[in-house]
Structure 1
Amino acid sequence: MRKVFLDDKRPAPEGYRLVTSAKQCKKVLREGRIAVLSLDYNLGRNQPKGDQVVKYMVEKKLYPKTIIIHSNSRYGRLKMYQLLIRNKPRHVPVYIRPLPTPRI
């Protein structure tokens, strides 16, 4: 099982695999076996946003064991959270959390 961190600007926390685009994230979801998926909303100018990954998860029924929304975008957090809560299996928890603090 792996942990995946979707973000175009921030580095992945220790123990996470970084993916920087919705396209990469969808590919990793298809590969399966994701323990934790941490999502950002804004993924670069003129690029698909994190909600496209959430829509893909819902459409394909490809859910990791745990989902974290770490986006700074209030609008994006709410949009992704609401879509997940309406569609995800009951056993998949969804959390809205700030980024973990780096170890010094």
Structure 2
Amino acid sequence: MKVFLDDTRATPEGWERVYRVSEAIELLRTGAVELISLDYHLGDAEQGTGLDVLLWIEQAVRDSDFCPPVIRVHSDHRRGRAQMLEKLDVIQHSVHKSRNQ
């Protein structure tokens, strides 16, 4: 399954669209997500950001050996995108480290 987290952009063909962080995490928990593409700003601050999804993935990798899907960041929010790409590097390092132990 390919998951597209965004509140405004058109959903690419063949992708499952979610609007909220909680929806993205729910799908990630199933283990069926092969690819996830994240926006940072989701309209309402109470709904969280794409960074919150990455924070959840980071913790899941660390605490339960979660195998994350391929992750893309499609956000135009400059600061948010930079934060997300930094967190993505941390996640990739953690996955690489756990596989080599």
Question: Where does structure 2 lack aligned partners over 5 or more consecutive residues?
Answer: 97-101
How large is the RMSD of aligned CA atoms in angstroms? 1.1
**Runs of 4 or more off by more than 6 Å in structure 1?**
none
Q: Find the counterpart in structure 2 of residue 53 from structure 1.
A: 53
Equivalent residue pairs, number? 88
**Letter aligned with residue 78 of structure 2:** R
Higher normalized helix content (fraction of residues): 2
Question: Where does structure 1 lack aligned partners over 5 or more consecutive residues?
Answer: 91-104
Q: Find the counterpart in structure 1 of residue 99 from structure 2.
A: none
Q: Find the counterpart in structure 2 of residue 80 from structure 1.
A: 84
Give the structure-2-normalised TM-score: 0.81
Q: Find the counterpart in structure 2 of residue 35 from structure 1.
A: 34
Aligned equivalents of 2:49, 2:22: Cα separation in 1 = 10
Q: How far is the alpha carbon of 1:44 from its aligned partner?
A: 1.4
Identical counterparts, % of pairs: 36
Rg comparison, structure with higher value:
2
Q: Find the counterpart in structure 2 of residue 67 from structure 1.
A: 71
Higher normalized strand content (fraction of residues): 1
Give the structure-1-normalised TM-score: 0.79
